[in-house]
Structure 1
Amino acid sequence: MNLPEESSANLLGALALLAGSRMRASVNASIGASGALAEALVVLKDQPGVTAEWLGQVLGLTQPGAAHLVRRLREQGWVERRAGADARSRALHLTPEGASAAARILRARAEALTALLAPLTAEQRLQLADIARALLHDEVTDARSLAHLCRLCDRARCPQCPVHAGFQERSAD
């Protein structure tokens, strides 16, 4: 069936909502919590030692929202505060329970997205990967926007990250 070219953006929007909904439901179920908790755990897995302020900026939270998030993470036993880079800052690190929760999140994410791709042939999956690389390559402008876009990524599955590569290319200019 030939669709008008204008439908591409509309179909991409619907696909983005479908993928996001399935991924979020799976991720939230994996830890029995919703909101930014899962994203925070994955960010802290990949970038231990960041501050609550930095984490809040990456997740798009206000300062009170970030403080509430860190409190919830600590109450769950997933995060601990340690001395930061200076006397006033506190660095956030996952506890062993937090690292385990982050691993569950990434497994659940992978399972949900793999199931979504099940109807595609191997060739279609390769085509989708090429399209995704092209669309993602130029999307970030700084380290925080990189962390924001990749906040639920399993970095081990994407060693040649197109988002990071695009960021490095623009940073070198």
Structure 2
Amino acid sequence: MSDDGRTGNLVGALVIALGDALRVDLETASGRGISACAALATALAYPGESVDALRRTLGLSAAGATRLVDGLQADKLVERRAELEDGRSRAVVLTDAGRKQAKAVLAARRAVLARALAPLSKRERGELARMLNVMLAALTPDRQTCDRICRLCDVSRCPQDNCPVELAALRAERA
């Protein structure tokens, strides 16, 4: 039975509603733009990533990533440290204040998502989780896409060995 695009339209509306709510609540919680929120969350999940790795994950230009990290460093939320493998590259490491800010970003994210999921029963949440696993895996053709999709994820709630996006990226790397 065809739904004439209604399901797709509903998914599109949900994406917009969640995206808007996340942007507003994360920016309110942190006082920063969504890219800075994603940078903080990513640096919390993956300490010591290079500025270039952060740039790729956030989808920024080299200059944009440098400006973003400069701003976070000026606010004493991150430090740049020399990487062990390549003395020319700089690793981005959260300060104590940066970790606190990143945790506030993730708490705001959890609150938005909890509001969206609140009307669903436990059974409905389980069904939704199974469907989301399938959909997210299908939308993850490679590592770069994986990192971009998960740039605001709370990896403590979705460990990499159970993350459909991470598992899809690993399958793509082996192919």
Sort the TM-score into its range (normalised by shorter chain): over 0.9
- Equivalent position of 1:38 in the other structure: 37
Aligned to 2:118: 118
- 1:101 shift after superposition: 0.8
Structure 1's 164 and 122: CA in aligned 2 closer, same or farther, altered over 3 A?
Answer: same
The structural deviation recorded for 1:91 is 1.0
Displacement of 1:95: 0.6
Alpha-carbon distance in 1 for matches of 2:2, 2:118? 23
Give distance in 2, aligned partners of 1:95 and 1:141.
Answer: 33
Cα displacement string for residues 83-134 of structure 1 (whole angstroms, at most 9, x for unaligned residues): 1131211111111111111111111100111011111122211111111101
Q: TM-score, normalised by structure 2?
A: 0.91
Contact kept in structure 1, 2:143 and 2:173, CA below 8 Å: no
State the match for 1:99 in structure 2: 99
Taking structure 1 as the reference length, the TM-score comes to 0.92
Q: Who is 2:81 aligned against? A: 82
Q: Where does 1:1-173 land on structure 2 (aligned, <5 Å)? A: 4-84=3-83, 85-159=85-159, 160-173=162-175
Matches of 1:142 and 1:48 in 2, distance apart?
22
Distance in 1 of aligned mates of 2:173 and 2:50 = 24
Root mean square deviation of aligned Cα = 1.7
User: Equivalents in 1 of 2:138, 2:2: separation in Å?
Assistant: 27
Gaps of 5+ in 1: none
Q: Is the 8 A contact 1:43 1:147 kept in 2?
A: no
CA distance in 2, matches of 1:49, 1:147: 15
Contact residue 48 and residue 92 of structure 1 kept, 8 A: yes
- Inter-partner Cα distance in structure 2 for 1:78 and 1:54: 18
One-letter identity of the residue aligned with 1:164: E
Give the conservation status (yes or no) of the 8 Å contact 2:143–2:170.
no
101-110 vs 161-170, which deviates more?
A: 161-170
CA distance in 2, matches of 1:171, 1:64: 29
d(CA) in 2 for partners of 1:171 and 1:138? 15
